[in-house]
């Protein structure tokens, strides 16, 4: 995130984001028409959270681009080394051994690049955790609207939320055994 | 084999595409919610679907139900953060063939895809 984006975020506008801004949860008319401070604040926080989500998704994709590039460079290096192995001057056992070691190190780099890409799943999980917070903020906002009988309720369509996201960690496959057991039980029941 | 990936997170779509390419599946089409997933499916040639659950406009569950109304046979794998038992059962009842909870390892995705393509 650069300084202009931080400034925009602090101002609540998120203008630095290239992603289209989601519609405000509190329509401007509601704020202008005497909506309470609480209503304005919740709309402001929702806009901020949307900006954070958009910026982190964009930055995550930049990291993915870099990882992709590293993967491609290593693949190119591996090809060059393979060609070099066939060269007459590279047939000495010591040279072949060294080349194999370089190839093996290259493979390790590629594996680590793939591992790093897989770890980027944290971005989607964090986004969904924020989405859950937004969901609760909207409920509070709508409750205040009902209570005061003024302003408009949230209308912008949001993704559905995961009710277990708060417990979701970043360890891959932490729920695999549980999900597999439920799937197996369902299939057995269906067969029986 | 053409695989349709439906997820509103572009990062997650990239992760799934990367995993698929490492296990030999490079023919991929993408949708960012259930609605665009249906559009891509309508263009033809899709032989398997990997879909998220929580998406705007049309979520994964509604998407699966709509697909099943048109195509009872196409393999569908749901990849989502929804880990509650009742969620998994609801997805299976809607017509999902198998279920992966995020975050996942590439080995798990491979295992599930191969079991679906059996």
- Average pLDDT score over residue span B90-101: 97
Domain boundaries, chain B: 2-117
Residue A41 lies in a domain: yes
**A154 against A187, higher pLDDT:** A187
Chain A 121-160, CB below 8 Å of chain B: which residues? 121-125, 127-128, 131, 157-160
Structure tokens at A150: 């003024």
| Beta strands at B98-101 and B28-31: parallel, antiparallel or unpaired | unpaired
DSSP B30: E
Backbone phi, psi, residue B35, to 5°: -60, -50
CA nearest B53 in A: which residue? A160
Q: Which of A33-37, A118-122, A157-161, B73-77 has the lowest mean pLDDT?
A: A33-37
Q: Are A114 and B22 in contact (CB under 8 A)?
A: yes
Residue A69 confidence (pLDDT) above 50:
yes
Residue A121 confidence (pLDDT) above 80:
yes
Structure tokens at A127: 């986004």
| Angstroms from A171 CA to nearest CA on chain B | 7
**Alpha carbon distance, N-terminus to C-terminus of chain A:** 55
Residues written for chain B: 118
Q: Name the pLDDT band for A44 (thresholds 50, 70, 90).
A: confident
Q: How many CB pairs under 8 A join A and B?
A: 122
Residue A189 confidence (pLDDT) above 80:
yes
Q: Are A165 and A128 in contact (CB under 8 A)?
A: yes
B89 chain-A contacts, CB cut-off 8 A: 182, 186
Triad B54, B55, B56: Cα angle to 5°:
135
Cis amide bond preceding B58, omega within 30: no
Out of B10, B98, B108, name the one closest to residue A57 (CB).
Answer: B10
Out of B18, B22, B82, name the one closest to residue A162 (CB).
Answer: B82
CB contact under 8 A, A162 and B10: no
CA nearest A167 in B: which residue? B83
Number of domains comprising chain A: 1
Q: What is the mean pLDDT of chain A?
A: 80
The pLDDT, as a whole number, for residue A26 is 42
- Indicate which of B63, B65, B88 best probes the interface with A, i.e. most A CBs within 10 Å of its own CB: B88
Residue A169 lies in a domain: no
Structure tokens at A185: 């039980």
CB contact under 8 A, B15 and A117: yes
- The CATH code for residues B2-117 is 3.40.50.2300
**A20 against B40, higher pLDDT:** B40
**So what's the ipTM on this one?**
0.90
**Alpha carbon distance, N-terminus to C-terminus of chain B:** 14
**B115 against A167, higher pLDDT:** B115
| Angstroms from A93 CA to nearest CA on chain B | 32
| Calpha distance A47→A165 (Å, rounded) | 21
The pLDDT, as a whole number, for residue A164 is 79
Residue B111 confidence (pLDDT) above 70:
yes
Domain of A77, in residue numbers: 3-164
Q: Which residues of A21-49 are buried (b: 16+ CB within 10 A; e: fewer)?
A: ebebbbbeebbeeebbebbbebbebbbbb
Which residues of chain B are at the A interface, by a Cβ-Cβ cutoff of 8 Å? Answer: 7-12, 14-15, 18-19, 22, 53-57, 59, 80-85, 87-89, 92, 98-106, 108
């Amino acid at each position: 995130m650069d300084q202009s984006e931080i400034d925009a975020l602090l101002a609540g506008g998120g203008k630095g984001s290239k992603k289209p801004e989601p519609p405000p949860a509190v329509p401007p008319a509601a704020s202008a028409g005497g909506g309470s401070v609480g209503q304005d604040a919740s709309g402001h926080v929702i806009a901020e959270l949307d900006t954070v989500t958009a910026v982190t998704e964009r930055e995550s994709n930049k990291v993915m681009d870099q990882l992709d590039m590293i993967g491609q460079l290593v693949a190119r290096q591996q090809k060059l080394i393979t060609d070099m192995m066939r060269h007459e001057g590279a047939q000495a056992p010591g040279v072949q051994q060294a080349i194999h070691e370089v190839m093996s190190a290259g493979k390790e780099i590629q594996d680590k690049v793939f591992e790093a890409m897989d770890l980027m799943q944290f971005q989607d999980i964090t986004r969904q955790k924020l989405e859950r917070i937004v969901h609760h903020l909207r409920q509070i906002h709508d409750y205040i609207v009902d209570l005061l009988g003024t302003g408009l309720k949230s209308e912008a369509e949001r993704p559905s939320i995961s009710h277990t996201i708060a417990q979701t960690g970043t360890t891959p496959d932490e729920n695999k055994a549980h999900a597999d057991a439920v799937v197996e039980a369902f299939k057995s029941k269906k067969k029986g | 084999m053409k695989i349709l990936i439906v997820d509103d997170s572009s990062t997650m779509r990239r992760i799934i595409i990367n995993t698929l390419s490492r296990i030999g599946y490079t023919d991929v089409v993408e949708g960012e919610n259930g609605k665009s997933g249906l559009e891509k499916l309508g263009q033809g040639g899709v032989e398997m679907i990997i879909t998220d659950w929580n998406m705007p406009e049309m979520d994964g569950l509604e998407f699966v139900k709509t697909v099943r109304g048109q195509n009872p046979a196409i393999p569908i794998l749901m990849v989502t953060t929804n880990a509650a038992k009742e969620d998994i059962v609801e997805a299976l009842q809607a017509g999902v063939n198998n279920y992966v909870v995020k975050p996942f390892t590439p080995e798990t995705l491979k295992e599930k895809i191969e079991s679906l393509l059996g």
